[in-house]
Amino acid sequence: MTQSRRPVPVLLVLTGVLALLAARPPAPPAPDDLDARRRALHAATAAVNRLTDELATGRIGLGDTADCFLDAHAENAALLAGVHTVMRGETLRESVARSLVYRVEAAAERPALRAEYAALFGRPYTPPIL
């Protein structure tokens, strides 16, 4: 008499389904949490935009602006990771500084800002490859 091989695949499928169910992400946050996070992100972005304007006019330095950006977005790890990945600085602070120079230079050439970048990080500014 031959033995059926069906129970093993069924058991494997059930085990896989249980593993998938256990690995599901948690339920999405309540709408109030989403609204609060949206408001916080909007406020942080507005603050950084004001700082970028200050940087473009030379009223605040690159290092201070980068530090303020990091402080404003400290709770948004995904944003900071994205900036670091795209801008490819050796440190997160350098990635933020590269992003800021890129944003400011999009409006006008800023040799002084490039010189400040070189002084802060010990190498010349190179635009990111986007």
Tens-digit pLDDT profile for residues 70-112: 998 898 898 899 999 999 999 999 999 999 998 887 655 678 8
Reading the block at residue 118, the tokens are: 């070189």
Query: Does residue 19 fall inside a structural domain?
Result: no
Residue 118 confidence (pLDDT): 94
Residue 31 confidence (pLDDT): 65
Query: Does residue 12 fall inside a structural domain?
Result: no
Query: Does residue 73 fall inside a structural domain?
Result: yes
Query: Does residue 83 fall inside a structural domain?
Result: yes
Query: Does residue 17 fall inside a structural domain?
Result: no
Whether the Cβ atoms of residue 96 and residue 120 lie closer than 8 Å to each other? no
Query: Does residue 128 fall inside a structural domain?
Result: no
pTM for the predicted model, two decimal places: 0.61
Tens-digit pLDDT profile for residues 42-69: 888 888 888 888 998 889 999 999 998 9
**Number of domains the chain is built from:** 1
Query: Does residue 2 fall inside a structural domain?
Result: no
Task: Provide the domain limits for residue 56.
Answer: 30-121
